[in-house]
Chain A
């Protein structure tokens, strides 16, 4: 049986007209002699009545100070996709194509019990295969599954898969059903070389590798979720990104490009970040202070990126949503240390004994805040002023990350030089960089992101990519 999985995002099915266009793609699949399995997201985006965010707001508005239980929140969020399945199945039915709407549970998708970010454990494809044998088109709710039965809930509990969950559902169903292809339909005509809001004439890539598409998605392109790309890559399922509203061929995701490796795939941007640069000119405790900073950030639930060590300090970036928490945690913080910079191996239980304590005081900028001044004066009153070591933190609040997806760049001398030169010559400061085999990233001011994406796209001649 030739099976194709077709996934439609929220904007592909938000109006009757759009749903008819989506239905035509499904019918075309049937006409090609394939059995379509349809996966749908919730209808529309934030603010629209059946969008996931709208449903969550409905729940949280009961009392914003009391967060809903993750189980109930998942139950609520799953409703959006269930509504979509029924609407889409009915749309196909009125066009004369028998269809059946299936929840994640009814489609046999079993997950772990991490509500809000569940992972698919197994899929029992029997219900879907039965539907196909009967000649029905299964329309499956994306983004959801069900936990394994337990003592309290013998039929399990509904879970959601987290961001990009419908793409993940489509790819996993493709794997479970051994589909000949998974087609992700969206409102753009494939994977582009840059955000079309910034580069309107950014070309659509005709082919891209699984690794590239996963990287491009991780770095901010919103066209396909990396989890889906990773499943497709691991199971070798042909994957397409196509537009619901056009007849454009879209982007084919492949293991290897026909014409060898493309060096530069695209320019992406992601994140509203804050960048902190800690000045730690104290060699005796630098490693331990860095460790304390990492521990503190972990304790307050802040994930770091753009990390870089230099001889006299450390730089870190993190999501701006955490900025106030980070600021209030660090401002005026004192870390007293006795231990030497690096302990003996194995660590001695007596390390640091007898050594004079040093008090490391974290302060933002050269002018200490009121809290810092109080901390300082307390230490001085206690006769410990001479043991005070300030750690000055410089802040760049409005940052973002711009990335060049450059497969195998490290074999190509000068790519980073070209990237850095392009940004510098355009007057765009670069706070820090990160690199891997697939990607070069720079942390830059957010105000410059559009300009940065445009000039990098031009400088690396991505208008000619395909």
Chain B
């Protein structure tokens, strides 16, 4: 392994503009990811709406929302996991819950104009034996949902691959202690 000093740092060459390429990694606190299955394909769009209405009425915040062929998947804060499951099951939905997940977000300015960053992230995840269970993108980031127990190893590899300094890695509260 290279000593930290020998890794060229990002973010120190450009005076006015933000640096090109990957500049930071942020790991969320633990979350739970839920998949709500709709058995009848014809009912999927209307049932997705029913699921969302149920969550709205219960006052539950959701994120990493993805439309699935057979339903809907989304994340909730770990503290909301049991309540969310209960609310949805009470409303008659089939719910699969994956607890102990984190979201690893890789930040880069104009991510959608950079070739191959997503492929590189997926390669690193794959090589470290980590399944990307969900993925989302924005103009400044790619976010991957993974098992919390894999986070430290994945972040270490991502950091090296994108030549980031330690200070470019941010573990949001809770996750650091729990993952380490």
Contact = CB atoms under 8 A, between A and B. Distances in A.
Interface of A: 112, 119-123, 168, 171-172, 175-176, 215, 218-219, 226-227, 230-231, 234-235, 287-288, 290-291, 294-295, 297-298, 301-313, 342-345, 347, 410-414, 416-418, 420-421, 424, 429-436, 439
B49 A343 contact: no
B129 A343 contact: yes
A56 B37 CA distance: 53
A435 B64 CA distance: 6
A309 B17 contact: no
A439 B138 contact: yes
A433 B62 CA distance: 13
Given A172-B17, A288-B126, A290-B122, A304 B137 contact: yes
Interface string B113-156: 11110111011001111111111111111110000000001000
Given A298-B118, A413-B55, A420-B52, A305 B137 contact: yes
Contacts of A432: 66-67
A439 B139 CA distance: 10
Contacts of A176: 16
A123 B115 contact: no
Contacts of A295: 119, 122-123
Interface of B: 13-20, 35, 45-46, 48-49, 52-53, 55-56, 58-70, 73, 109, 112-116, 118-120, 122-123, 126-143, 153
Nearest to B19: A119
A418 B57 CA distance: 12
A290 B45 CA distance: 25
B56 A413 contact: yes
Contact of B127 (A230, A343, A412): A343
Contacts of A294: 118-119, 122
Contact of B119 (A287, A298, A312, A433): A298
A417 B52 contact: yes
A310 to B, nearest CB: 4
Contacts of B153: 345
Contacts of B73: 310
A435 B49 contact: no
Nearest to A168: B17
19 contacts: A122-B15, A172-B17, A291-B126, A294-B119, A294-B122, A298-B116, A310-B66, A310-B73, A311-B68, A342-B129, A345-B128, A410-B63, A413-B60, A416-B65, A421-B52, A424-B46, A424-B49, A433-B65, A436-B141
B15 A431 contact: no
A311 B70 contact: yes
A344 B109 CA distance: 33
A401 B116 CA distance: 21
Given A295-B123, A303-B114, A175 B68 contact: no
A90 B86 CA distance: 72
Nearest to B35: A311
A268 to B, nearest CB: 11
Contacts of B143: 436
B15 to A, nearest CB: 5
A297 B137 contact: no
Residue from B52, B64, B129, B134 having most chain A Cβ neighbours under 10 A: B52
Which 9 residue pairs of A and B lie closest in terms of their CB atoms, listed nearest first?
A414-B56, A298-B116, A417-B52, A345-B129, A218-B139, A294-B119, A298-B119, A436-B138, A172-B16
Give the residue among B20, B113, B139 with the most A Cβ atoms within 10 A. B139
Contacts of B140: 218
B121 to A, nearest CB: 8
A303 B119 CA distance: 10
A417 B119 CA distance: 31
A434 B137 contact: yes
A127 to B, nearest CB: 17
Contacts of B66: 308-310, 432-433
Contacts of A433: 65-67
B39 to A, nearest CB: 14
B129 A434 contact: no
A161 B52 CA distance: 44
A308 B52 contact: no
B17 A120 contact: yes
B16 A123 contact: yes
B136 A410 contact: no
B123 A291 contact: yes
A418 B55 CA distance: 12
Given A234-B18, A342-B126, A435 B131 contact: no
Contacts of B129: 342-345, 347
A120 B17 CA distance: 6
Contacts of B67: 308, 430-433
A120 B115 contact: no
A87 B17 CA distance: 29
Nearest to B113: A303
Contacts of B19: 119
Contacts of B126: 287-288, 291, 342-343
A44 to B, nearest CB: 26
Nearest to B20: A119
A111 to B, nearest CB: 9
Contact of A121 (B14, B113, B114, B128): B14
A412 B128 contact: no
A266 to B, nearest CB: 15
Nearest to B54: A417
A343 B32 CA distance: 25
A289 to B, nearest CB: 11
B136 A231 contact: no
Contacts of B17: 119-120, 168, 172, 227, 230-231
